[in-house]
Structures are given as C-alpha cells and as structure tokens.
C-alpha cells in the first residue's frame, strides 16, 4: 500500500525537496558540457606535462566524484544510486580549450541533470587547479545541459543544439515514432455516448498518438457493452488499422465489458501489455492492480484497452509509448526499430 502524500500547508517550511513518491522509476540519462580556456598553457595540459601531474586524467576522476557528491553540494537534490558516470576531456585546439563532457545514467523517479552538471564543474575546477601554477588567466564557461532522457517528457535537447560529433557519440534517444501507422481511438462510456458526459480520455489518446506521428483515422465513442465494440473492432481491423486504443470499461463493474469484447474478437492475446501497465501503474496508485486493462491482436491489428480515467490514460501512454513502435513492427512482420534505451 502506498504511503499518503503529505500536502504543504501554511505552517510548512518554505524549503523542501520535490515529492517524487508517486512518480515511476524510469531509465534516466543526462549529458552536460563545459569548457575551460587555457591560453598559453594549452599545449602543456594536452601533453600532460603540468607540474602537479596529468590534469586531464585527474579531471575525469574529479568529474565522477563531483557527480556522486551532487546532493551534498545542492541540498534539495535527491540522493540517487548512479549506474553510470563517464567523463570525457576533449582538446579543442582552435580555441586553446578543453571541452569536458559528463554523462550520467540511472533508473530513478527523478532525473540526473544536476549530477551531470556537478560532474562537469568538478572536472573543470580540477583542470583549473592543476593549471593555475603555470597560467593563472584561465576562463571557465559554456557550461550547460546538452540533453536529458527519461521521465514523462522523454528526450529534451538544449535549444542551442547539439553538433554532429556529439550526436554520434552520445546518440540521444527519444521515443520510436509511429509515422505512417493508421490508428483509431475508441471511448467506451454509456454517459459519454448519451451526451451527458464530455469525453476527456479519448482526446488525450489522439494527442499522444499524433505526437508520435501516428495517423489517427477514426475517433469514436461507443456505449459500454460487448457487441458494439466487438463489431467495430472487426471492421477497423478489416480496414487495416494497425493500432486501436480503447479507453473505458476495464474496471470491475457490471458494465465494464471491454475485456470481454476484446476476447470475443481476438486472434491472439498479448498479456504482457496489461501486465506492464499494472506493474508500472502501481507507482501511481495501489488501485492499479484492480484494472483489467489488456491487449489482443485481431489478425495484424494491435488493440489495447486502457482505463477510462484521463489521468490513467496519460500515465498509461507514458508507460506503453516506449514499446509501441516495436510491437507494431512485430505485428507487421517488419524489422524491429531500436528502442529508446537499446
């Protein structure tokens, strides 16, 4: 059972860590970058001839330590078990500078941007410390987050961009897209079908599919029940719709009949999708285990049934989006696209 979430009150401290207890642990990665301009000391540093020793080697070690110590430097930064910290020092001869990169990765409820930035700063300051005896006029600059991956927002790239060499080395990965995939969205709700309730979950699915490049060919609202949905699913599959997302009718009520409709028309069950949804949704609510969300195939069409709650739909798409393109490639007997963390 999840712990209750304490809400801030007027008597609470104005300073507190972000509450991430209801967030899902997801793979996270961040890469930060920064430079130190060395001036006349550039050749000495690159040739590793400084009096104190090899500044570039020490910078790599210091960058790793800096990333690990980020929560001690920034009190509101969550302490995270880091799965990877990797520091690179790249000489830039035309600017007589060293460009430092710090890559950090883990699986957690919050990102590792601050760890990557702390790693860059630790590495740059170490180069400064070892170089200042021979050249005190050093300049640190251009420190920024290059990109981050993971969480509900997926891939974020700095507006200043990322050059081709950086892209080739780090291969930032967003969600595999659904370009060209014919999709349909069906809302199951007696109230919405009767016009007494405005459907909010269906439009969320349309937006999510469109953001991934899917071509939404049909958006419908049907009453709860087996036959109306089963009939429509057969028709959509016959029209070559590759992905059909249903919302509603996956609870334990007498009118929650969506799973029965899917079972009536399925040519194959896809149990792992429902298992994944429930397993990951438990981080948001312990009631996830009561959901009958699931998936089937009708010939080569993939049908996924999600709950009717807009919140559950948004969370469900965040959970399932990383595997949709791969699943659809499998149903079409096509080459499998590389996933976001392959």
Predicted TM-score (pTM) of this structure: 0.77
In tens, the pLDDT along 79-126 reads 999 999 999 999 999 999 999 999 999 999 999 999 999 999 999 999
Same-domain pairing of 140 and 234: no
The active-site residue, picked from 83, 129, 190, 207, is 129
Distance from the Cα of residue 95 to its chain's centroid:
35
Residue 19 annotated in active site: no
Which of 20, 339, 335, 303 lies closest to 154 in space, CA to CA?
A: 339
Q: Which of 102-111, 167-176, 235-244, 328-337 has the lowest mean pLDDT?
A: 328-337
Tens digits of per-residue pLDDT, 115-174?
Answer: 999 999 999 999 999 999 999 999 999 999 999 998 877 889 999 999 999 999 999 988
Per residue in 195-221, is it b (16+ CB within 10 Å) or e — as a string?
eeeebebbebbbebbeebebebeebbb
C-alpha distances (whole Å) from 307 to each of 26, 50, 149, 181, 336 are: 22, 63, 27, 23, 28
Paired tokens of 150: 């993971």
Same domain, 122 and 257: no
CATH number for the domain spanning 310: value is 3.40.980.10
pLDDT at 10: 53
**Same-domain pairing of 93 and 198:** no
Give the confidence band of 5 by pLDDT, cuts at 50, 70, 90.
low
Nearest to 300 by CA among 215, 218, 220, 182: 182
Same domain, 133 and 189: no
Question: What's the structural domain count of the chain?
Answer: 2
- 291 vs 249: CA distance, rounded Å: 10
Q: Which of 170, 203, 232 finishes a domain?
A: 170
Using a 10 angstrom Cβ sphere, with 0-12 exposed, 13-18 middle and 19 or more buried, the burial of residue 155 is middle
Please, what is the Cα angle at 107 between 67 and 6, to 5 degrees?
95
Say if 20 falls within a structural domain: no
Nearest to 277 by CA among 250, 252, 237: 250
Q: Which two tokens stand for residue 149?
A: 């991956």
Domain boundary residue, one of 138, 170, 202: 170
Residue 291: is its pLDDT beyond 90? yes
166 domain residue, yes or no: yes
* Domain assignment present for 19: no
Other CB atoms within a 10 A radius of the CB of residue 31 amount to 27
pLDDT at 166: 95
Percent of the chain clearing pLDDT 70 (strictly above):
94
* Residue 341: predicted pLDDT: 45
Instruction: Give 47: exposed, middle or buried? Use CB within 10 Å, 0-12, 13-18, 19+.
Output: exposed
Q: Please give the residue range of the domain that contains residue 158.
A: 26-170
What pLDDT digit, counting tens, does each position of 224-236 carry? 999 999 999 999 9
Domain identity same for 318 and 187: yes
Residue 2: inside a domain = no
- The answer to whether residues 92 and 156 belong to one domain is yes
Tens of pLDDT, residue by residue over 184-225, are 999 999 999 999 999 999 999 999 999 999 999 999 999 999
Query: Smallest Cα–Cα separation from 125: which of 35, 29, 27, 258?
Result: 35
| Stretch 320-337: mean pLDDT | 88
127's CB contacts (< 8 A; 6+ apart) are: 36, 38, 45, 55, 56, 58, 59, 89, 98, 100
pLDDT band of residue 1 (cuts 50, 70, 90) is very low
């Amino acid at each position: 059972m999840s712990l209750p979430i304490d809400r801030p009150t007027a008597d609470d401290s104005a300073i507190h860590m972000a509450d991430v207890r209801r967030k899902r642990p997801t793979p996270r990665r961040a890469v930060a970058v920064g430079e130190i301009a060395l001036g006349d000391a550039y050749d000495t540093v690159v040739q590793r001839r400084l009096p104190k020793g090899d500044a570039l080697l020490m910078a790599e070690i210091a960058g790793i330590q800096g990333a690990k110590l980020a929560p001690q430097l920034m009190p509101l930064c969550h302490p995270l078990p880091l799965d990877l910290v990797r520091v690179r020092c790249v000489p830039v001869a035309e600017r007589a500078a060293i460009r430092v990169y710090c890559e950090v990765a883990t699986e957690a409820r919050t990102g590792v941007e601050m760890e990557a930035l702390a790693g860059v700063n630790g590495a740059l300051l170490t180069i400064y410390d070892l170089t200042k005896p021979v050249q005190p006029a050093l300049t640190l600059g251009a420190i920024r987050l290059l990109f981050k991956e993971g969480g509900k927002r997926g891939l974020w790239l700095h507006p200043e961009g990322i050059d081709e060499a950086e892209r080739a080395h780090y291969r930032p990965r967003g969600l595999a897209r659904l370009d060209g995939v014919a999709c349909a969205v069906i809302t199951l709700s007696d109230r919405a079908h009767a016009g007494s309730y405005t459907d909010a979950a269906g439009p969320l699915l349309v937006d999510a599919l469109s953001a991934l490049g899917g071509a939404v060919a049909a958006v419908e609202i049907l009453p709860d029940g087996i036959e109306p949905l089963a009939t429509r699913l057969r028709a959509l599959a016959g029209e070559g719709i590759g992905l059909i997302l249903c919302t509603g009718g996956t609870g334990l009520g007498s009118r929650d009949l969506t799973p029965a409709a899917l079972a009536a028309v399925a040519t194959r069950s896809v149990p792992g999708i429902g298992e994944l949804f429930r397993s990951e949704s438990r981080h948001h609510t312990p009631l996830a285990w009561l959901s009958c969300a699931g998936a089937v195939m009708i010939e080569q069409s993939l049908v996924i049934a999600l709950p009717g709650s807009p919140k559950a739909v948004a969370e469900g798409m965040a959970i399932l989006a990383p595997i949709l393109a791969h699943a659809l490639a499998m149903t079409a007997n096509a080459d499998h696209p590389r996933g976001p963390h392959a």
